[in-house]
A and B are shown apart, each in its own frame.
Chain A
Amino acid sequence: MPHPQIIIAGNPNAGKTCIYNKLTGSAQQVSNYPGVTVEIKTGLLRHHDEKVYVVDLPGSYSLTAYTQEELVARNYIVDTRPSLIINVVDASNFERNLYLTIQLIEMRLPMIIALNMIDTAERRGYKIDAEKLSRLLNIPVVPTVASRGWGIPELKEAAVNLIEGRISAIPAPVNYGHAVDEEILALAKTIEKEPILTERYASEWLAAKVIEKDEAVLNSLNSFSPEIVQPLLQQGEEATQRMERHFGTDAATLMAEHRYGLAASLARSCISFSAEARRDITDHIDMIVCNRFFGPLLLVGVVLSLFFWVFKVSDEWAWIPWFGGFRSPTGMMALLFDYLSEVLAPLQERLPMVHSLLHDGIVGGVGGVMSFVPLIFCMFLFIAALEDSGYIARVAFILDRALRIFGLQGKSILAFIVAGGLGAGGCAVPGILSTRTMREDKDRLTTILVTPFMNCGAKMPVYAMLIAAFFPAHRTFVMLVLWGISWGIALSAAWVLRKFLIRGEQTPFVMELPPYHLPVFTSVLRHTWERTWLYIKKAGTLILAINMIVWVFMYFPRPSEDVPPDVALGYSLAGRVGIALEPITRIAGFDWRTNIALIGGFAAKEVIIGALGTAYALENQDEEKFLSLSDRLASQPDWNPVRAFALMIFVMLYAPCLATVVVIKRETGSWKWAAFSTVYSTVLAFVIAVLVYQLGHYFVG
């Protein structure tokens, strides 16, 4: 690395990301840690011409990796040997935060502590002597309130001074007490004889890890030659046994106890109580939020208000000023695409093929997706605000017992919500990505495999269109039924998967309930934008490409004479495939035109409406088209409510879109599960659609 590197490490909710944002401003990028899917954010800190890379790691409670994210954080620190670690410590939660600090100190890397949230600590009635802490640990301790920017200039100054060598900040070695220190030092001496080890690890850190039998470290030692590693492990084993005999408990426990003992003594030395602390506002709020009766009630209220808020702000309320009036966000999008349509109109006569490609394929397809961006954005904004405030943790707490019945867990709820589980749209791609806060295991895998059943933003227009055509008097009711079915199937599928295919232990649920705080606007906005951007990127790249491919298949080969568009469709490649599949799909009520649309939908479900529209020879490609497709289908003799319903069910459940499949592969680490997801959900969707269609016809005729 040409520039020095600073790593920011600390507990979740300590304010790491806030400090990272304040240090790097807008110069940030996200990259993948090799081999794993957790993303590392890297930014640049500029200070008086000095340029330093700053890396924001996922929050960890300990360097003993438990979740995916903690493993990445730990490995990154070990593998990178940064120029500086900024350890963000939540002052209002001092002792537990210090547990990680002590482990970072063991690594003997230059370190600065950002003692964050000192305002909260003060409100709780205690004061921390940063100077004393600094003296005891031998490293700079900078008090900060990152959300207000207090202490940030001092932190920057200290960081740059350290990097430029003007101050030194190697922490004092950790003293656990004679018995433990003796063993660690002895083992460290052996390690120091092997430069190949010391080049990679701090000797005392490695010794401590070997003695406490840290699995990840022992595994990584296998990459070194046995002649070096074996004697080391042997000596370590002996040390461990001696210590276990001496203290009467296992090594992991006694190391943890010593570290916490040290944290407690540092707390005693540095914390003084200034005033009587009142019961926290968090406790007051939780008395309602987690209450047996009011808790679930409040949850329902939150869900309903999210619905209200999202639809009103993005779709109904016209609040954006625009040339002679106000428009709603979706209205603005519609305007944009109308404009593009107009611009392209002259092409229709002169270059009909190009016009069709640009207008039907691109503007139509991508336009459909983009018109959902305001809705998705509002949705994600609300969710991010709830996450940031700490409420989502309570939701996981409340729902955990119920979700466990289906082989899931409390944390799974976030994936479902982001993927559209609340009924106001969403996207499975960020939904699946949000499972990274879960431990890598069966619960997480199951969650990932059923998340695509949620009613995402791509499926909604299909529902809306068909409902307008066939259930105009019962719109809300049918939407509610579809919502219920998606959850019902998701939970049942999870149960079945867990019972028969993904058998194994449930992950323990050990989760902090962080204090409530008002969502910080900038961080909520960033979080929202990250997720929305994934959705837009999908539209701009994958869906665009798919739409063009689908367009090609629906356009070529062309018949030689001039025929109406729908006949020409039958002649094309897509048409032929659709017709060929008809004998099978007919039992679910799908004709060849529907088949074409559904095949296109494998790639991205947003394609379905556009393809269906083209298949019925419709000309306009925006909201008008959607309405006229509705009318068109309603007037088709071979279409009826039962068929429409079967189609909606199929669209709801069948294969996740290509973008989702790719994410599933990345997050599960193999194509096996991605392929499985596609196959099992399509089979399930087909079976249920057939049942709905056949039984529907039987009863309704």
Chain B
Amino acid sequence: MGEGVPTEGIKTTLDELTTGDIARVVAIRNDVSMSLKRRLLDMGITKGTVLRVERHAPLGDPVQIFIKGYHLAIRLNEARAIEVELLPQHLQFRHRHHHGQPHVE
């Protein structure tokens, strides 16, 4: 974890976030299918990973996030299974830290 990253934040799920939000993954809920869970884990949605919501598709669904240096699209009803902690907006999500830890000025 980067130093100086605030540890409190609003706890919510990925589907609730809006464009531009930066959040840290807390956990993947246990009530999802094992195969979906593995898939999300494989794609890098692990505890402590920081992600940013890039946009929603024109019809509102799926949502595109920037995570570990790449872009991933997830449906909202699957994003609901990802528990996240919303990080304060003033945190600059710098591209240079592609592995996802924000850098505090």
- A residues lining the B interface (CB < 8 Å): 61-62, 64, 66, 92-96, 99, 124-126, 215, 249-250, 252-253, 256-257, 260-261, 264, 267-268, 271, 273, 276-280, 282-283, 286, 290-293, 295-296, 397-398, 400-402, 410, 505, 508-515
Q: State whether A250 touches B30 (Cβ < 8 A).
A: yes
Q: State whether A512 touches B71 (Cβ < 8 A).
A: yes
Q: Which of B49, B59, B68, B72 contacts A510 (CB 8 A)?
A: B72
- Give the CA-CA distance A99 to B78 in the complex, in Å: 22
**Which one of B30, B34, B49, B62 has the highest number of Cβ atoms from chain A below 10 Å of its Cβ?**
B62
Residues of B21-58 at the interface with A, using a CB-CB cut-off of 8 Å, are 27-28, 30, 33-44, 46-47, 49, 54-55, 57-58
Q: State whether A260 touches B57 (Cβ < 8 A).
A: no
Known: A66-B42, A505-B33, A514-B71; 17 extra A-B contacts, CB below 8 A, are A66-B35, A66-B39, A95-B68, A96-B44, A249-B47, A253-B46, A256-B38, A256-B46, A257-B47, A271-B99, A291-B58, A401-B59, A401-B60, A510-B74, A513-B71, A514-B70, A515-B70
Known pairs A253-B37, A260-B44, A398-B59; A279 contacts B95 (CB<8 A): yes
- Give the CA-CA distance A410 to B40 in the complex, in Å: 18
Known pairs A96-B44, A510-B43; A296 contacts B96 (CB<8 A): no
> How many whole Å from B45's CB to the nearest CB in chain A?
9
Q: State whether A510 touches B73 (Cβ < 8 A).
A: yes
Q: State whether B62 touches A509 (Cβ < 8 A).
A: yes
> How many whole Å from A275's CB to the nearest CB in chain B?
9
Q: State whether A513 touches B42 (Cβ < 8 A).
A: no
Instruction: Please count the residue pairs between chain A and chain B whose beta carbons lie under 8 angstroms apart in the complex.
Output: 145
Q: State whether A508 touches B39 (Cβ < 8 A).
A: yes
Contacts of B71 in A (CB 8 A): 282, 286, 512-514
Q: State whether B37 touches A252 (Cβ < 8 A).
A: yes
Q: State whether A513 touches B72 (Cβ < 8 A).
A: yes
Known pairs A126-B98, A401-B57; A510 contacts B44 (CB<8 A): no
B11 interfacial by beta-carbon distance below 8 Å: no
- Give the CA-CA distance A268 to B36 in the complex, in Å: 29
> How many whole Å from B57's CB to the nearest CB in chain A?
5
> How many whole Å from B53's CB to the nearest CB in chain A?
13
> How many whole Å from B28's CB to the nearest CB in chain A?
7
Q: State whether B41 touches A512 (Cβ < 8 A).
A: no
B20 interfacial by beta-carbon distance below 8 Å: no
Q: State whether A510 touches B40 (Cβ < 8 A).
A: yes
Q: State whether B68 touches A96 (Cβ < 8 A).
A: yes
Contacts of A92 in B (CB 8 A): 69
- Give the CA-CA distance A94 to B47 in the complex, in Å: 19
Contacts of B62 in A (CB 8 A): 397, 400-401, 410, 509, 511
Closest to A265 in B: B99
Known pairs A96-B70, A257-B47, A296-B58; A513 contacts B64 (CB<8 A): yes
**Which one of A268, A295, A510 has the highest number of Cβ atoms from chain B below 10 Å of its Cβ?**
A510
Contacts of A260 in B (CB 8 A): 44, 46, 49
Known pairs A61-B43, A400-B61, A401-B59; A277 contacts B36 (CB<8 A): no
Q: State whether A125 touches B58 (Cβ < 8 A).
A: no
Q: State whether B42 touches A99 (Cβ < 8 A).
A: yes
Q: State whether B44 touches A99 (Cβ < 8 A).
A: yes
Q: State whether A64 touches B38 (Cβ < 8 A).
A: yes
* Binary contact track B3-32/A, C-beta < 8 Å → 1, others 0: 000000000000000000000000110100
Q: State whether A508 touches B78 (Cβ < 8 A).
A: yes
Known pairs A96-B70, A249-B27; A509 contacts B78 (CB<8 A): yes
> How many whole Å from A678's CB to the nearest CB in chain B?
32
Q: Which of A95, A250, A253, A397 contacts B99 (CB 8 A)?
A: A95
> How many whole Å from A634's CB to the nearest CB in chain B?
45
Contacts of A402 in B (CB 8 A): 59
Contacts of B72 in A (CB 8 A): 510-513
Contacts of B69 in A (CB 8 A): 92-96
Q: State whether B57 touches A64 (Cβ < 8 A).
A: no
Can you give 29 contacting A-B residue pairs, CB < 8 Å? A66-B35, A93-B69, A94-B69, A94-B99, A95-B44, A95-B68, A96-B68, A96-B70, A99-B42, A99-B44, A257-B47, A260-B46, A278-B95, A290-B57, A290-B58, A291-B58, A292-B58, A295-B57, A397-B73, A400-B75, A401-B60, A508-B36, A509-B78, A510-B36, A510-B40, A510-B72, A511-B62, A512-B43, A513-B70
- Give the CA-CA distance A215 to B44 in the complex, in Å: 20
Q: State whether B95 touches A93 (Cβ < 8 A).
A: no
**Which one of A252, A278, A401 has the highest number of Cβ atoms from chain B below 10 Å of its Cβ?**
A401
Q: Which of B41, B55, B70 contacts A256 (CB 8 A)?
A: B41
Q: State whether B38 touches A66 (Cβ < 8 A).
A: yes
> How many whole Å from A194's CB to the nearest CB in chain B?
27
Contacts of A509 in B (CB 8 A): 62, 73-75, 78
- Give the CA-CA distance A515 to B68 in the complex, in Å: 14
**Which one of B40, B64, B71 has the highest number of Cβ atoms from chain A below 10 Å of its Cβ?**
B71
Closest to A441 in B: B35
Contacts of B55 in A (CB 8 A): 286, 290
Known pairs A96-B68, A267-B99; A401 contacts B61 (CB<8 A): yes
Q: State whether B64 touches A397 (Cβ < 8 A).
A: yes
Closest to B63 in A: A397
